[in-house]
Amino acid sequence: MVDRIPLSGPAMRAYTSDHPCTWCDGCGNYGIWSALKRALVELGIDPWNVLLCFDVGCHGNMSDKILGYRFHGLHGRVIPLAAGAKIANPELTVIALGGDGASFSEGIGHLVHGIRSNYDITFILHNNANYGLTTGQASALTPQGQPMNSSPEGIPERTLNSMDFVFSLEPTFVARGFSGAIPQLTTIFKAAIEHRGFSYVDVLQACPTYNRFATHEYLMERCFDIAGEKYDAADLSRARALAVDTTGRIVTGVLYCQSAVPSFMHQLATRRAAQTTLVEEVGLRDVASLCSVFQ
Ligand SMILES: Cc1ncc(C[n+]2csc(CCOP(=O)(O)OP(=O)(O)O)c2C)c(N)n1
Ligand code: SF4
Ligand SMILES: [Mg+2]
């Protein structure tokens, strides 16, 4: 893995868009945005070799604040979009970015099948523990009883333990980062991109406007980098126990990595012997006669 910006390859400006950011002051999306660009640059990935797929939400507004190929899809549907693109062109680096609202409610089924299929994509969860874009509604990851804009008395439902849920699906890569720790987040993103399978990265993201319970300061005090300790990231049950327990310190870093499980394309019998990508196999077709049916 490259630790510094390489002498050749893209520079940060290759990913720099002219569009100004519109996130609130202090929003954790700034940190995730910076770390993502830095990770791509440090890995020497040019913008024309990456596809960034965005869900709908505050985080999704990153789609025109960064360069590279980008797709801004429907709420909760980012994983199938990204998986389809990767299947069509396995040579692309494909990254999907989604919010906690989208990923653990509208799109939870896609998350389940993304992990079990082990598509070779990186999934970055912008976990601000609320529906930010729709002005601070409770999501499945908001603490039970926490007063929110749409539920001043707090929601009655129990909070979904997202990490326990993800580990129950036998993932091949799980990491947790914090939007205020950009160098560590960069290292995590690089490891996730390099993993050959579905990489799940939970980023605890500050949302000063609507999340008053897990603030930047709160996360700063509790987040602890496991990279500084002797740690075996191949031990699933230890990783799961560490990930689930956030009562004291919150363990961050690459928590689990299993590279022996083949990715979806390597399991797909019909593609195993293929010498070309599906994108290369798509021929040019004249669809004029087909369109005439609908005139
Ligand atoms: C199927 C569907 N449901 C709901 C919405 C409305 N909606 C748009 S963004 C959003 C909140 C997004 O929250 P989250 O996914 O956590 O992202 P954040 O804004 O917090 O980054 C909602 C409910 C929608 N566009 N489509
Ligand atoms: S509402 Fe929260 S997540 Fe959305 S831009 Fe503002 S601080 Fe960021
Ligand atoms: Mg959210």
**3-state DSSP helix/strand/coil percent for the chain, to nearest 5?**
35, 15, 45
Q: 86 CB less than 6 Å from ligand 1?
A: no
> Are the beta carbons of 148 and 136 closer than 8 angstroms?
yes
Q: What tokens were used for 192?
A: 């996730």
User: What count of other Cβ atoms lies within 10 Å of the Cβ of residue 151?
Assistant: 16
User: Does 77 sit in the ligand 1 pocket, CB within 6 Å?
Assistant: no
* Percent of the chain at pLDDT exceeding 90: 87
Residue 295 pLDDT: 75
171 CB under 6 A from ligand 1?
Answer: no
Domain boundaries, the chain: 12-292
The H or E element that residue 47 is part of is none
- DSSP letters spanning 89-137: -TTSEEEEEEEHHIIIIITHHHHHHHHHHT-S-EEEEEE-SSBTTTTSB
**Choice from 30, 207, 211, 213 to test ligand 2 binding pocket (greatest atom count within 8 A of CB):** 207
User: 4 pLDDT exceeds 90?
Assistant: no
- Does residue 203 contact residue 179 with C-beta atoms inside 8 Å? yes
Q: Which residues have beta carbons under 5 A from ligand 3 (an ion)? A: 99-101, 128, 132
Query: Ligand 2 atom 6: the closest Cα is on which residue?
Result: 24
Task: Answer whether residue 2 shows pLDDT above 70.
Answer: no
Radius of gyration of the chain, Cα coordinates, nearest whole angstrom: 19
Ligand sitting nearest the alpha carbon of 134: 1
Sign of the C-alpha dihedral computed for residues 233, 184, 181 and 68 taken in this order: negative
DSSP 172: S
The DSSP call for residue 59 is: G
Compute the distance between CA of residue 241 and CA of residue 221 in angstroms, rounded to an integer.
Answer: 20
Fold of 12-292: Rossmann fold (3.40.50)
pLDDT per residue as tens digits for the range 33-56: 999 999 999 999 999 999 999 999
Q: Is the CB of 240 under 6 A from ligand 1?
A: no
- Tell me the pTM: 0.94
**pLDDT tens digit string along 217-229?**
999 999 999 998 9
The pLDDT > 70 percentage for the chain reads 97
- For residues 11 and 256, which has the higher predicted lDDT (pLDDT)? 256
Q: How far is the CA of 58 from the centre of ligand 2 (A)?
A: 6
Per residue, what are the HEC states of 237-278? Answer: HHHHHHHHCCCCCEEEEEEEECCCCCCHHHHCHHHCCCCCCH
